[in-house]
Amino acid sequence: MEEHLMKIGEIAAFFNVSVKAVRIYEKKGIIRPARIDKQTGYRYYTADQVQQLNALIELKGLGFSLNEIREIMQGKGMDSRRLAECLLQKKMRWKESISAAENKISELDSIIQRLSGSRDTAEMSEMTEEERAWYLVKMVCVEDTAAQSAISEAIWL
């Protein structure tokens, strides 16, 4: 009894990815079709390969690169301990990204607070380029503006 095969377009549609994406996964050596029709070039996949694509999409959604996914899915030197290490490393990178985003949010809060406390209500479009540049440095730059001012003056002398 022959196993049911799915065309590339069918599995792409099932997972809501493009056919081009599935072909990229093939070129990267992550998933290979069970059969390619020599006359039409159609690619056919088994149920097991559909499961591989499902795992690939989940790992991609977790932020793994295609190279990392290939390494995981090929299983060379991979056991549950090594997989857990890969997942922990990705978790740490996500935590670092969250921390960086929280720092940016804090910086934005500081800028908003400076803007709302500023007495300067001039329209930026009415300012000269130089006035606008200094205004933005004063309001937007979180670092010490006095040091920037001294450097800028030294450069333009």
Q: Give 42-100 pLDDT, tens digit per residue.
A: 899 998 888 999 999 999 999 999 999 999 998 888 888 999 999 999 999 999 999 99
Q: Is 143 left (phi over 0), alpha (psi -120 to 50) or beta?
A: beta
Helix (H) or strand (E) holding 144: none
| pLDDT given at position 31 | 92
Quickly tell me which residue has 């899915």 as its tokens: 73
Contact 70, 28 (CB under 8 A): yes
Reply yes or no on whether the pLDDT at 1 is more than 50. no
| pLDDT given at position 27 | 94
Contact 31, 52 (CB under 8 A): yes
Contact 53, 22 (CB under 8 A): yes
Q: Which residue has the higher pLDDT, 52 or 153?
A: 52
Give the relative orientation of helices 129-140 and 80-117 as an angle to the nearest 10 degrees.
120
Helix (H) or strand (E) holding 43: strand 43-45
Q: Residue 53's CB: how many other CB atoms inside 10 A?
A: 20
- pTM (2 decimals)? 0.68
Reply yes or no on whether the pLDDT at 142 is more than 90. no
Alpha helices in the chain (DSSP H): 8-14, 19-27, 47-61, 66-74, 80-117, 129-140, 145-156
